[in-house]
Structure 1
């Protein structure tokens, strides 16, 4: 028994005529008859009585028809679903994002979902190194993370650059060309290194390049807390400029010109793993860049 035989059974039951049913199925009457005969032989039941009025369902055929129709409908729905999944217009994606893509990732997802509403997306705040591990294991399909990617077979495309700034309370007079002297009397606040390893390394590299040796007085597990502490005038911190939108008006952001203050942010994925929905998202990002890039 196969789905084609069941489809033939349902069509003949609907048309009650071998010629009409064969035309609807685009096969010959002989081929239709053989399909019905093979189905009847397989199940050991006669499904149709053939007479002057055409093909009439037997009592057994009447009982089996609703279930046969349900199977045919379900198979048709399955075929349609497989097409949508293969085309990347239906499916699910797990994505990660980090500090520097705090607004970038959600914006892309909202715009993508407006065009592809049947792709379910799960987005989580995940440090860059953890994103890399999850992508390699196939537990994450896409990551908004810092570039360059260091572990083949990961691949990435650049979306934007981010850079470090000093966040300090506006009550302090700071010379933007030489901010470090004015910061000597202020406490240094930093993000817990384990929470943002990439950012921590970036800041350490910057401080070495600027010949600055400062020890943190307080740590926090998230950027929002750091900026709240700065807003309360408890010290200064170093953060990506991309998170400046969550700082209130009492916080001043001072740009840093050191080459180590700048890094690239991109979309990364594991090119050895196939995922049509992922590829559809990548195509969307390439085709429709972020308005603020």
Structure 2
């Protein structure tokens, strides 16, 4: 097998000299030289050039280096799968999330499953209170939510989310204080996703209006977030949505960031350490290190 020799080739390609690479590999310099010479004999061309300043990849070596990296990466993934099958770690992770994570959670899960292909992920969109309840009961392994109330649940803050008011691009209003917000709400219909499928979001917007003594406007409920955005593009309509839901399309809409009580909130990753299994802890540690 050539795996050991190819790994030595990769280390040497990123080192200043044979001596430096040999120290990293914990082998003697003659042993490394022999491995590289064997590879060059197998391939039929020279991989490195040497001078007084060190060693360098030949043009052929540079081409081989790219393929060698891909080969060892795939081999590592293969060995990881074999290990998981051998140890029985081919389970399921139940992950909950609020609306604040709809656009960022898929990328996080893709990163995890790329290195842990035998673990199946089941995703559940739930409000923070329900996620907390399911973490305690063991129905969820990991939750992406607002900071939990129960101190038994561990919490790692990831960032913040905040409310935006979105309007017709032709509207020229400015928001400098609560009076400006009241005037906008008085003159426009507020389009929101329906309460049944977006209960936590509707509740958060209602609390924001109440906490800041803002006028509760006439509301038109739509089927989903994107319909609310489309309606806000019409004259005399606005919508209030969290930044997380429109972050990817902010360049295409007109919006103002809202201020006041309840306009911003912290979000993070939560888990019940007493119930978290090995796969959940692996997921948590990998996300914390990103």
TM-score by length of 1: 0.62
SS in 2 for 1:208: helix
Provide the rounded CA distance (Å) in 2 between the counterparts of 1:113 and 1:281: 9
Match of 1:188 in 2: 190
Task: Give the deviation of 1:108 after TM superposition.
Answer: 0.7
| Equivalent-residue separation in structure 2 for 1:99 and 1:84 (angstroms) | 33
Contact residue 187 and residue 236 of structure 2 kept, 8 A: no
Matching residue of 1:207: 209
Cα distance in 2 for partners of 1:173, 1:118 equals 53
Q: Deviations over 1:90-116 (max 9, x none)?
A: 422011222111122111111112222
Shift of 1:247: 4.8
SS where residue 184 of structure 1 aligns?
Answer: helix
Q: 1:114 to 1:172 in 2, by over 3 A?
A: same
Does the CA-based 8 Å contact 1:164-1:241 persist in structure 2? yes
Q: Equivalent residue for 2:127?
A: 127
Query: What is the aligned partner in structure 2 of residue 162 from structure 1?
Result: 161
CA distance in 2, matches of 1:79, 1:205: 50
Q: 2:170 is paired with a residue of what secondary structure?
A: coil
Match of 2:256 in 1: 254
Change (3 A) 1:274 1:187: closer
Residues in 1 aligned to 2:252 and 2:83: alpha-carbon distance in whole angstroms: 58
**Residue 243 (structure 2) aligns with:** 241
Unaligned runs of 5+ in 2: 1-81
Q: Judge conservation of contact 2:185–2:215 (CA < 8 Å) in 1.
A: no
Question: What SS does the aligned partner of 2:187 have?
Answer: coil
Kept in 2, the 8 Å contact 1:190–1:216? The answer is: no
**Does the Cα contact within 8 Å between 2:145 and 2:268 map onto a contact in 1?**
yes
Q: Which runs of 5+ in 1 are unaligned?
A: 1-77, 289-293
Alignment check: 8 A CA contact 1:164 1:238 kept: yes
Give the structure 2 partner of residue 103 of structure 1.
103
Alignment length (residue pairs): 206
Aligned to 1:117: 117
Cα contact 1:99–1:243 (8 A) shared by 2:
yes
- Is 1:140 the counterpart of 2:140? The answer is yes
Displacement of 1:158 after TM fit?
Answer: 0.8
Partner secondary structure for residue 253 of structure 1: strand
TM-score (norm 2): 0.63
Summarize the alignment of residues 30-41 of structure 1 with structure 2, pairs less than 5 Å apart: none
- Shift in CA distance, 125/225, structure 1 to aligned 2, threshold 3 Å: farther
- Cα distance in structure 2, aligned partners of 1:215 and 1:182: 9
Contact map agreement 1:231 1:248 (CA 8 A) in 2? no
